[in-house]
Amino acid sequence: MIMFVSLMLNAQDPHFTQFNMQPLLLNPALTGNFTGDFRANINYRDQWRSVSEPYTTMQFSADGRITKARDTQLSVGGFVLTDKAGVSEFSQTVAGVNVAAGVRVGRYSSITAGIGGGLFSQNLNSGNLIWDSQYNGMQYDPLLPSNENATLLSVSKFDLNAGLVYKFMVGSNNPYYNDGVKGTIGVSAYHLTQPNQVSMLTEDAKHSRIAAHADLSIGLEGTNMAIQPSFLLMIQGNQKEIMPGLMFRYLLREQSRYTGFIKSSAFSIGAYYRTGDAVNIVTLFEFSNFGVGFSYDLNASGFLKATNGSGALEFALRFITPAPNKSRLSNNPLY
């Protein structure tokens, strides 16, 4: 019965709790869509270590603008993601390049479209798996044959992605500071080519992943604080992820206007909820060009008895040059 049911299963993409810290894998239109000239992001996620062989996911991306016109922008970026899951060492590697073009549609708003393509590959190490035919009646004997016809243990396919993003800013001339209202709204689609994926039984096409995301930053007048609600919806085949969140950001200090020796810094803390799965505690510390994020997923699903609440630990590092607080709308076309 399990073997027949597996014919209807489809693999999901790896995901990160700190989805705003891996922009190129969230939406190709976010490529180059930031305050600055160059950006690099590194993410690491470690999940289910308390109950099984850990699931580890890592990604690196870099992007930046290649034009400097005031009302239009052309950007390019690249990314690499690797994921390894469980004792079978089921691994996925995604490497690609994104191109995005944006245009100002108002004094404080812009629309950007992006497209990306690259290589998608999967591998499965069936030699690490244990089968019932390898029990000799008394104990497990790895020398006995598995009697399994394992096929499609490695695939490599071309992948195609696309997305659209709208950004706006009201009552502020710098998105770094906690004044006014800033927002980003986007929609994206990954795996438009629906490449075949690794399967022990049949050639299954990888479902396209549709994502809708939004985040706001609302400055509290008379304070150095802002509240930052966000929302993520991802649909892939019959799988769905819904994750609302709320962060509180406090501007610790502004950079010196005269010497530049005192660097700007900010601290954010909050929580997301991945419905039916986990409560996510998230922090972010920003200092000059750098942003360092930590998050921990507290398991809240039916798997709770096995995990004792332990879910996933995640680390994110971001570098932007020049430092985001130095740019203003007047010299950065689409912030």
pLDDT tens, residue by residue, 114-123:
999 988 887 7
Q: Is 80 exceeded by the pLDDT of residue 142? A: no
162 vs 149: CA distance, rounded Å: 37
Q: How many CA atoms lie within 13 A of 104 on its CB side?
A: 15
pLDDT digits (tens, 9 = 90+) for 232-243: 999 998 889 999
Flag whether pLDDT at 54 surpasses 80: no
H/E element holding 46?
strand 38-47
Rounded CA-CA distance 60/42 in Å is 5
Mean confidence (pLDDT) of the chain: 83
Rounded Cα gap, residues 165 and 103, in angstroms: 11
Task: Please state the rounded mean pLDDT for residues 99-103.
Answer: 96
Cβ-Cβ contacts under 8 Å for 97 (sequence gap 6 or more): 76, 77, 78, 116, 117, 118
Q: Could you tell me which residue, 200 or 117, shows the higher pLDDT?
A: 117
Question: Which of 231, 185, 230, 193 lies closest to 209 in space, CA to CA?
Answer: 193
Q: Report DSSP letters for 134-155, one per residue.
A: GB-SSSB-TTS---------EE
What pLDDT sits at residue 147? 72
**112-116, 284-288, 298-302: least confidently modelled range:** 298-302
Is the pTM here over 0.85, yes or no?
Answer: no
For residues 101 and 116, what is the distance between their CA atoms, to the nearest angstrom?
A: 12
Q: Which residues pair with 63 in a beta bridge?
A: 39, 77
Q: Report percent pLDDT > 70 for the chain.
A: 79
**321 against 6, higher pLDDT:** 321
So what's the pLDDT on residue 204?
Answer: 57
Q: How many residues does the chain have?
A: 335
Q: Residue range 105-116: average pLDDT?
A: 93
- pLDDT for residue 104 is more than 60: yes
Structure tokens at 277: 């799965």
SS (H, E, C) 150-201: CCCCEEEEEEEEEEEEEEEEECCCCCCCCCCEEEEEEEEEECCCCCEECCCC
Q: What pLDDT, in 10s, does the model give residues 260-278?
A: 555 789 999 999 999 988 8
Residue 237, pLDDT score: 85
Superfamily of domain 14-326: Outer membrane protein transport protein (OMPP1/FadL/TodX) (2.40.160.60)
pLDDT, tens digit, for every residue of 22-51? 999 999 999 999 988 999 999 999 987 766
Q: List CB contacts of 238: < 8 A, sequence separation 6 or more.
A: 10
Per-residue pLDDT at 274: 93
pLDDT at 44: 96
Per-residue model confidence (pLDDT) at position 110: 94
CA distances from 334 to 217, 261, 312 (A): 17, 28, 35
Alpha-carbon distances of 197 from 90, 124, 161, 203, 205, rounded to whole Å:
11, 10, 17, 7, 6
Per-residue pLDDT at 6 exceeds 70: no
Percentage of residues in the chain with pLDDT exceeding 90? 49
Amino acid at 168: F
Terminal-to-terminal C-alpha distance of the chain: 55
* Mean pLDDT, residues 134-144: 81
